[in-house]
């Protein structure tokens, strides 16, 4: 039972263009959503988050959008840079407990 779904295993984007990573969730009790970035041989690194009371959160080149009615969120990276090549995990949590539920990840390749 996959509560957080990332349906694109990989994505290739030209350097300088916008990268859009998508994520769907099924549990309506999730009220906090996170994106993590992972390089090989390293642990996941927190990137950006959004509370369910918001529909957008922006931090530099990274923006996360939340559509609660569709149970969908997306991460926009603009402009994309070579160092953005990594695996991106969408994750969600319910404030009633402390565990984070992760998607399977999307591998982003930024092409020169």
Of 2 and 14, nearer to another protein (C-beta) is: 2
Task: Report the half-sphere exposure of 43 (CA within 13 A, side-chain side).
Answer: 1
Binding another protein by CB under 8 A: which of 60, 83, 97, 112? 97
Q: Which of 47, 25, 23, 26 shows the shortest CA–CA distance to 36?
A: 47
96 part of the interface to another protein, by CB under 8 A: no
Identify the residue among 13, 21, 73, 105 touching another protein (CB under 8 A): 105
Q: Minimal distance in Å, beta carbon 89 to another protein?
A: 5
Burial degree of 25 (CB within 10 A; 0-12, 13-18, 19+): buried
| DSSP state for residue 82 in the 8-state scheme | G
The yes or no reply on residue 21 touching another protein (CB under 8 A) is: no
Residue 58 pairs with which residues in a beta bridge?
Answer: 63
Residues 31-60 that bind another protein (CB under 8 A): 34, 36, 41-46, 49
Binding piece for another protein, criterion CB under 8 A, among 13-21, 52-60, 64-72, 100-108:
100-108
């Amino acid at each position: 039972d996959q509560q957080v779904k990332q349906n694109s295993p990989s994505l290739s984007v030209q350097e300088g263009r916008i990268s859009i990573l998508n994520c769907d969730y099924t549990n309506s009790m999730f009220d906090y959503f996170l994106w993590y970035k992972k390089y090989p041989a390293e642990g996941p690194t927190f990137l950006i988050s959004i509370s369910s009371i918001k529909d957008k959160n922006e931090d530099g080149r990274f923006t996360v959008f939340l559509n609660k009615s569709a149970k969908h969120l997306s991460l926009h990276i603009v402009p994309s840079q070579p160092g953005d090549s990594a695996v991106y995990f969408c994750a969600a949590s319910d404030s009633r407990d402390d565990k984070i539920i992760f998607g399977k990840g999307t591998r982003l390749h930024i092409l020169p």
